[in-house]
Structure 1
Amino acid sequence: MASCLETLCGQAFGAGQYHLLGIYKQRAILVLTLVSVVVAVVWAYTGQILLLFGQDREIAMGAGSYIRWMIPALFVYGPLECHVRFLQTQNIVLPVMASSGVTALSHVLVCWLLVCRFGLGNKGAAMANGISYLANVSILALYIRVSPSCRSTWTGLSKDAFRNILSFMKLAVPSALMVCLEWWSSELLVLLSGLLPNPKLEASVLSICLNTVSLAIMIPFGLGAAISTRVSNELGAGRPEAARLATRVIMVLGLAAGVVLGLLMLSVRNIWGYAYSNEKEVVEYIARMMPLLSVSIIFDNLQCVLSGIVRGCGLQRGLWLGIICGVVVQMLLLLAITIRTNWDKEVGKPKPLPCIHIIPSVGFWAS
């Protein structure tokens, strides 16, 4: 939902309506905090929900325990995303990069203290996330308060933040759905993998694959954020030709980055699994999955930069419809394969890796 600030703040900044950026940020924090309450309730009962879906009890209880300790981080992460986009749409990126770098370095120490030193295990890892998010947002909030570069865009708390919330939601909800529809399709595969004969292995491998995609998608995510800011600024300033040129440049960069990342993933496919597990079975499984992931990354890169362009234009609803069309096409292809399957021949075949591990396009998200 915070990604709608890329449209609102970006175009307001380009149009010279600087005071609106602070109002939009406050409004977004208010809405995200209320939404986080609802999400927190779901998180509190995650273990029981997973059991209802037939998941392995040990996996369900472990996930439920971890996510409950992540609830404090949830209420910090929303404001953090709002602060990042508030600065990003003003082309103020160095403070964001610096605060993220400091937080990342300290996160290692915090994790070691909570997980190893105090023996809190995965609970400590969840708590470390909340502490790091809090440190990051505190640094950014302090910068916004004292920096001369934000003097015209942050004028203090305003009652206007409580107005026009409905119109804000009309843009925020499609912004959220364009991310959720993609991520949920991938998370659903993790959920389904827990129903297979060896759920611990299957869920582990698929989770590692999704984590790998999340790691690789950071580069196109940055490109998408950059083009979103550039397009929204140029459109707000009434310069359509500049927005068109920036779009062409980012498409070339997105394709090049996708090819490079895809080749890199292929080159490390036989050793990548050791970054997550010492189990040989898991490592070999990951190696067989990497070619599929490398292909998906190429398309993900293009999808990510295109998402940034759409956000900059404020056309999130069109992107939402595009994602739905993609899901429908995927469903029809899988249905056709299922209908044409000769089940008698399948019985006699040696069993390959389950086809459920094919990963659909995961556009981060962004955001």
Structure 2
Amino acid sequence: MASAVQTVCGEAYGARNYSAMGIILQRAIILHLGAAVILTFLYWFSGSFLKAIGQSESIAEKGQVFSRGIILQLYAFAVSCPTQRFLQAQNIVNPLAFISLGVFLLHVLLTWLVLFVFDYGLVGAALTLSFSWWFLVLLNGLYIILSPRCNQTWGGLTVKAFKGIWPYFKLTAAYAWMLCLETWYNQGLILLSGLISHPTVSVDTISICMNYLNWDLQFMLGLSAATSVRISNELEAAHPRVARFSVIVVNGISIVISVVFSAIILTCQEPLSKLFTSDSEVIEEVSSLTPLLAISVFLNFIQPILSGVAIGCGWQAVVAYVNLASFYVIGLTVGCVLGFQTTLGVAVS
């Protein structure tokens, strides 16, 4: 849903309609908080949902404990995402990076204390995550209110945010649909791995592999966000050639990053696995999947960038149908057939 902020605010910034940006931000936060309320029920009863789709008792129980612990994080996420897109649309990137780095370092310290010193387990980890996200929201909010760079775009709270909220909701629904299809696919693979033989090992293995993939994906999403902002700004300013050149440049950068990450994964198979687990069986399974994972990391360079281009151009609805066909009709179907009808197991993911 936050990608709508990225597009609309980017267009407003490119057209120098600065006063509209603060209204768009508030409108987005209202809708996001409404969505968070709906998702709260799913988080709270996640254990029953996991059991209903065939997950084991232990996985469902632990999943519910963690999900309930991050409900507060859900609401922080609802505020943080549009706030970050609001700042990115104004090309305010360095302050965001420094704030995120500071919160990340604090989060690492708190997580270490909670898990290894006080031994609070899953609940402690979840609540620490929620605290870190709310701290990030606080710092971003203070920056918007106090920074002179946001004087023209943030005019304070206004009831204008409630006007035109339905058309904006219809717009953001297409954006949410596009990105949810991308995200849910990866989560669906983890859920399906819990239905394969030896579910604990399978879930651990695919989760670690997804972490590797997400490391690369975070860089790609950063480039995607930069691309979407650049595209929306330049198109609204009637500079299509600059927008086209930006796409070429960012694709070149993404290829280099993916090659580096693929090389790291191939050369550091076992050490990387030991960062996540000490289980020798899981480490061995992850190592056997590393070549396939490296290929996936390399091929993943283009898709997030094209999504960023789509967001910048406002083509989310079209991309949503493409994602539905490629990820679910083709990818998930083939994965289920190979995963359950052959001995490949999680390798098909």
TM-score interval (norm. to shorter):
over 0.9
Matches within 5 A, 1:283-298: 283-298=283-298
Give the unaligned 5+ runs of structure 2.
none
What residue number does 1:219 align with? 219
**Match of 1:271, SS?**
helix
Alpha-carbon separation, structure 2, partners of 1:331 and 1:54: 17
- Corresponding letter in the other structure for 2:282: V
Name which of structure 1's ranges 70-79 and 177-186 shifts more when overlaid on structure 2. 177-186
- Using a 3 Å threshold, how does the CA distance of structure 1 residues 63 and 333 change in structure 2: closer, same or farther? closer
Cα distance, 1:228 vs. partner? Answer: 0.8
- Could you tell me which amino acid in structure 2 is paired with residue 277 of structure 1? T
Q: Is the 8 A contact 1:171 1:316 kept in 2?
A: no
- For 1:289 and 1:164, how far apart are their aligned partners in 2? 49
Instruction: State the partner residue of 1:154.
Output: 154
Does the 8 Å CA contact 2:228/2:312 hold for their aligned counterparts?
yes
Contact 2:27/2:165 (<8 A) preserved = yes
Q: 2:186 corresponds to which residue?
A: 186
2:11 matched to which residue of 1? 11
Q: How many Å apart are 1:335 and its aligned residue?
A: 9.0
Partners of 1:321 and 1:249 in 2: CA distance: 27
Equivalent residues of 2:114, 2:125 under 8 A apart: yes
Match for residue 331 of structure 2?
330
1:83 is aligned to 83
Alpha carbons of structure 1 residues 63 and 329: separation in structure 2 relative to 1, 3 Å? closer
Partner-residue secondary structure (3-state), 1:270 = helix
Verify: 1:265 aligned to 2:265, yes or no.
yes
What is the deviation of 1:195?
Answer: 2.0
What TM-score comes out, normalization by structure 1 length? 0.90
CA–CA separation in structure 2 for the residues paired with 1:334 and 1:202: 14
Distance 2:32 2:78 in 1: 6
Q: What is the aligned partner in structure 1 of residue 74 from structure 2?
A: 74
Counterpart residue number, 1:253 = 253
2:6 and 2:85 in contact (8 A); partners too: yes
**Which amino acid letter does the alignment assign opposite residue 5 of structure 2?**
L
Q: Distance in 1 between matches of 2:15 and 2:330?
A: 39
Q: Alignment partner for residue 348 of structure 2, among 358, 363, 367? A: 358
Report the 3-state secondary structure (helix = DSSP H, G, I; strand = E; otherwise coil) of the residue aligned with 2:277: coil
Instruction: Report what 1:364 is aligned to.
Output: none
CA distance in 2, matches of 1:97, 1:304: 20
Distance (whole Å) between structure 2 residues aligned to residue 194 and residue 232 of structure 1: 41
Following TM superposition, by how much is the alpha carbon of 1:332 offset from its aligned partner in structure 2, in angstroms?
6.9
State the SS of the aligned residue for 2:155. Answer: coil
CA contact (8 A) 2:24 2:161 kept: yes
Q: Distance in 2 between matches of 1:140 and 1:77?
A: 12
CA distance in 2, matches of 1:231, 1:150: 21
1-structure distance, mates of 2:255, 2:113 = 41
Contact 1:272-1:287 at 8 Å conserved across structures = no
What amino acid is the match of 1:242? V
Change (3 A) 1:332 1:52: closer
Paired with 1:334 and 1:216, the residues of 2 have a C-alpha distance of: 22
Q: Aligned partners of 1:235, 1:120: CA distance in 2, in Å?
A: 51
- Is 1:21 the equivalent of 2:11? no
Aligned 8 A contact 1:80 1:137 in 2:
yes
Q: 1:263 Cα shift?
A: 2.1
Q: CA RMSD in A?
A: 2.0
Please give the per-residue CA displacement for 1:294-316, whole angstroms capped at 9, x wherever unaligned: 11112221101111111111111
- The Cα shift of 1:333 comes to 5.5
* Residues 312-327 of structure 1 mapped to structure 2, 5 A cutoff: 312-327=312-327
Q: Which has more helix, going by share of residues? A: 2
Q: Distance in 2 between matches of 1:64 and 1:113?
A: 23
Counterpart amino acid of residue 330 in structure 1: G
User: Shift in Å at residue 325 of structure 1?
Assistant: 2.6
Matches for 1:22-101 after TM superposition, within 5 Å: 22-101=22-101
Please tell me whether the aligned partners of residues 107 and 128 of structure 1 are also in contact (alpha carbons under 8 angstroms). yes
Aligned partner of 1:130: which letter? S
What is the alpha-carbon distance in structure 1 between the residues aligned to residue 58 and residue 334 of structure 2? Answer: 35
Paired position in structure 2 for 1:365: none
Larger-Rg structure: 1
1:228-264 deviation line (CA, Å, top 9, x unaligned): 1111111121211111111111122222222222222
Kept after mapping to 2: 8 A contact 1:258/1:302: no
Task: Between 150-159 and 176-185, report the one with greater CA deviation.
Answer: 176-185
Percent identity for Structure 1 against Structure 2 = 33
Classify the secondary structure of the residue corresponding to 2:39. Answer: helix
SS in 2 for 1:109: helix
Q: TM-score, normalised by structure 2?
A: 0.94
Q: Which runs of 5+ in 1 are unaligned?
A: 360-367
Structure 1 residues 14 and 259: CA distance shift in structure 2, 3 A: same
Deviations 1:138-159 (A, max 9, x none): 1111111111110000001111
